[in-house]
Homo-oligomer: A and B are copies of this chain.
Amino acid sequence: MITLVIAEDHQSLIDGIHLLLKYDEEITIVGIANDGEALVELVAIKQPDVVLTDIKMPKIDGIAATKLIKKDFPKTGIIAFTMFDQEEAVTQMVAAGASGYLLKNSPLEEVIHAIKSVAKGNLFFDKGIDVSFLNKQVTRTATKSILSKSEKEILVLIGQGKSSGEIASLRFTSVSTVEKHRKNMLLKLGLSGKGELLRYAIEKKYDF
């Protein structure tokens, strides 16, 4: 018997999975959460074999929730169930400790395959996912640079529509510093042009 906890903010999809697993002998749903915070608490109580979770969720997103769960319950198998097939989302979920990645535009039966596969300790990736870059991850670990703490803070503020001047005031630094961080981010992210940082900030925020 495989025990399962689902985290997903669309009740309709949860109901669909419920119907699907209703007559399945192997899998039992032992809990449902509508946001990341509830998920982490629920896992601590129920300690399920497998967790199926969305990435974009209220309060805590799926990536952060996965990290928290894996820290306390490393043997829990976690499957991401989302509509985003972007490389970065997959990479971050895998880095957080996920064992599987499912797309919402795949048939619902895939959910069963994924759960059973992950419960056995295997990995499961949707066929729509390009896993080739997971090798690159090793290479990338060196280049993993991504953004520093200050840069991330500034990026969030940019996403909120703040100007460099406003950001400088909020962070008690000079405008020069903020602009320097902006330029460094553009370099790191391989972007160029006036609005591209704002675009990046908005899209990242909205995606997961």
Residues of A within 8 A of B (CB): 9-13, 15-17, 19-20, 34, 81, 83, 104-111, 161, 163, 193-196, 198-199, 202-203, 206
Which B residues are CB-close (under 8 A) to A199?
161, 198, 202
Q: How far is the CB of A112 from chain B (nearest CB, A)?
A: 11
Which B residues are CB-close (under 8 A) to A108?
11-12, 15-16, 19
**Beta-carbon contact of B13 and A13 below 8 Å:** yes
**Beta-carbon contact of B12 and A161 below 8 Å:** no
Which residue on chain B has the smallest CB distance to residue A111?
A: B12
Which B residues are CB-close (under 8 A) to A203?
202, 206
**Beta-carbon contact of B107 and A12 below 8 Å:** yes
**A16 CB contact (under 8 Å) in B16, B161, B193:** B16
Rounded to whole angstroms, the CA-CA distance of A195 and B111 in the bound complex is: 41
**Beta-carbon contact of B104 and A13 below 8 Å:** yes
**A15 CB contact (under 8 Å) in B9, B109, B161, B196:** B109
Take A16-B16, A19-B20, A198-B198 as given contacts and tell me if A193 and B107 are in contact as well, using a CB distance cutoff of 8 Å.
no
Take A12-B13, A16-B16, A16-B20 as given contacts and tell me if A194 and B104 are in contact as well, using a CB distance cutoff of 8 Å.
no
**A161 CB contact (under 8 Å) in B20, B104, B193, B206:** B193
Rounded to whole angstroms, the CA-CA distance of A128 and B89 in the bound complex is: 30
Which B residues are CB-close (under 8 A) to A195?
161, 195, 198
**Beta-carbon contact of B10 and A83 below 8 Å:** yes
**Beta-carbon contact of B12 and A104 below 8 Å:** yes
30 contacts between A and B (CB under 8 A): A9-B105, A10-B83, A11-B104, A11-B106, A11-B108, A12-B13, A12-B16, A12-B81, A12-B104, A12-B105, A12-B107, A12-B108, A12-B110, A13-B13, A13-B16, A13-B104, A15-B16, A15-B20, A15-B108, A15-B109, A16-B20, A19-B19, A19-B20, A34-B105, A161-B193, A161-B199, A163-B193, A198-B198, A202-B203, A203-B206
